[in-house]
């Protein structure tokens, strides 16, 4: 009981840190670009770095957990996150800033992959509840980083405080995992690593690719909304502060959805109605943003928040489509690392189309095409099946 509670607390503390370093930088990007004298190219690299890092470093997670316990890996991941956040505000070099940001994001990338595995390993009968709790905590952390970074920077007189303060929470997240990683701790407090005797390669399965496409396309829409939705509402006639509030509304409404969606996902015998329902809500919102973005803004925000329930759903499905913890971490790594490569294209292409056309019809057309691919991939993963059954295990 005590070990399970410690693991749950450790997971929630990790989840709280998984987006703060990203959203706080987004909120202070103008100040950072000015203060660091970043070129437009470097600033663009900084904004796409999270997706690139999540794709690259996340793929290392299965290799790491075959050699170290998850507790040891998470201690290192949170240490990298804390160090990266401290070091990037202690430099005046743009190149060092990018490199230390990558260090912080490497810690996040590995932790992203490990959490579904820990749910499968330690809470197999409470998958929906625990996934909902950590997803809700992740979204709360993202919103907190975005909302508090600017006030902290203004109160302290420097943007460096608005970015660096979150290192304290990353250090705090190390503590439960440090306790579990100690060799002198009780065996009950140890988190076992998956057996290194077999390698599972989801990239050789149809299920693995369907999961990666679904994860990538729903992440693509999420990144686009975070980066461009406020601008869309400003173009529709809303003043900047109201456009920002509408964007914040998508995140705020997503918190209860993140708690409830995984539990609903685990209770359904087939995910087909859920996949189709989420897609219909997103498609309706996209159509509304084209036809009457000003008049129906509140409705479109609500529908977008509901459609973004695809994120907590796919996190829960990762555990449901693997029989073992080893299979879960392999599927999680492949779906997330490949998915974030897809997601990285979204904000760049939307910006390119927006600049080229001066309007939102073509960018929203891109989102609609991504949604179509998401729906087809979702239907492919809707029925119960397991990655271990589709691939030779060596």
CATH (domain of 154): 1.20.1250.20
Q: Which of 157, 189, 221 is the last residue of a domain?
A: 189
> Which pTM was predicted?
0.84
Does 197 reside within a domain?
no
Q: How far apart are CA 18 and CA 27, in angstroms?
A: 16
Q: Residue 16: which domain range?
A: 2-189
Q: Same domain for 236 and 276?
A: yes
Backbone angle region of 306, left / alpha / beta, with phi > 0 → left and psi within -120 to 50 → alpha: alpha
Q: Same domain for 276 and 349?
A: yes
Q: pLDDT tens string for the chain (394 positions)?
A: 567 889 999 999 999 999 899 888 877 877 888 888 887 667 767 877 888 888 889 888 888 988 888 999 999 999 999 999 999 999 999 889 999 999 999 999 999 999 999 998 889 888 889 999 999 999 899 888 888 888 899 899 999 999 999 999 999 999 999 998 885 444 444 455 555 556 778 988 999 999 999 999 999 998 888 878 888 898 999 887 788 788 888 888 988 999 899 999 999 989 999 999 999 999 999 999 999 999 999 999 999 999 999 999 999 999 899 988 888 999 999 999 999 999 988 888 888 888 888 899 999 999 999 999 999 999 999 999 999 888 654 5
Does 194 reside within a domain?
no
Q: Same domain for 269 and 135?
A: no
Structural domains counted in the chain: 2
Does 116 reside within a domain?
yes
Q: Same domain for 50 and 147?
A: yes
Helix/strand/coil percentages in the chain, nearest 5? 80, 0, 20
Q: Same domain for 96 and 216?
A: no
With CA atoms as reference, report the closest residue to 290 among 362, 367, 354, 361.
361
Does 280 reside within a domain?
yes
Give Rg (Cα) of the chain: 20
- Contact by Cβ (8 Å): 146, 24: yes
- Contact by Cβ (8 Å): 314, 301: no
Does 229 reside within a domain?
yes
Q: Same domain for 61 and 140?
A: yes
Q: Same domain for 112 and 158?
A: yes
Q: Same domain for 174 and 218?
A: no
Convert the pLDDT of each residue in 301-353 to its tens digit: 999 999 999 999 999 999 899 988 888 999 999 999 999 999 988 888 888 88
pLDDT for the residue 315: 92
CA dihedral 100, 314, 361, 41 (to 10 degrees): 10
Q: How many CB atoms lie within 10 A of CB 249?
A: 17
């Amino acid at each position: 009981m005590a070990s399970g509670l410690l693991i749950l607390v450790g997971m929630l503390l990790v989840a709280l840190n998984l987006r703060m370093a990203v959203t706080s930088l987004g909120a202070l990007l103008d100040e950072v670009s000015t203060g660091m004298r970043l070129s437009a190219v470097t600033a663009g690299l900084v904004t796409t770095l999270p997706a690139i890092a999540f794709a690259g470093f996340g793929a290392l997670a299965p290799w790491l957990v075959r050699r170290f316990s998850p507790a040891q890996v998470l201690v290192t991941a949170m240490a990298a996150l804390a160090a990266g956040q401290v070091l990037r505000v202690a430099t005046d070099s743009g190149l060092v800033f990018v490199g230390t940001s990558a260090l912080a994001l490497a810690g996040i990338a590995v932790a992203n992959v490990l959490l579904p595995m820990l749910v499968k390993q330690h809470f197999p009968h409470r998958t929906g509840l625990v996934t909902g709790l950590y997803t809700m905590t992740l979204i709360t952390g993202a919103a907190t980083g975005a909302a508090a970074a600017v006030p902290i920077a203004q109160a302290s007189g420097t943007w460096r405080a608005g970015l660096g303060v979150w290192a304290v929470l990353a250090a705090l997240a190390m503590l439960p995992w440090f306790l579990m990683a100690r060799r002198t701790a009780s065996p009950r407090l140890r988190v076992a690593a998956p057996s290194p005797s077999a390698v599972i390669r989801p990239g050789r399965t149809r299920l693995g690719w369907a999961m990666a496409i679904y994860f990538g396309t729903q992440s693509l829409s999420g990144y686009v909304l975070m980066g461009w939705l406020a601008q869309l509402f400003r173009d529709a006639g809303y003043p900047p502060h109201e456009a920002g509030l509408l964007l914040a509304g998508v995140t705020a409404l997503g918190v209860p959805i993140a708690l409830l969606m995984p539990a609903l996902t685990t209770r359904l015998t087939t995910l087909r109605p859920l996949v189709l329902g989420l897609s219909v809500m997103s498609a309706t919102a996209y159509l509304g943003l084209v036809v009457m973005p000003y008049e129906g803004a509140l409705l479109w925000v609500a529908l977008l928040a509901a459609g973004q329930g695809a994120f907590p759903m796919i996190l829960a499905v990762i555990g449901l489509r693997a029989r073992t913890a080893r299979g879960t971490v392999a599927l999680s790594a492949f779906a997330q690392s490949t998915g974030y490569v897809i997601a990285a294209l979204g904000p760049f292409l939307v910006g390119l189309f927006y600049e080229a056309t001066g309007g939102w019809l073509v960018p929203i057309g891109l989102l609609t095409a991504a949604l179509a691919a998401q729906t087809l991939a979702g239907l492919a993963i809707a029925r119960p099946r397991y990655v271990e059954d589709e691939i030779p295990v060596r």
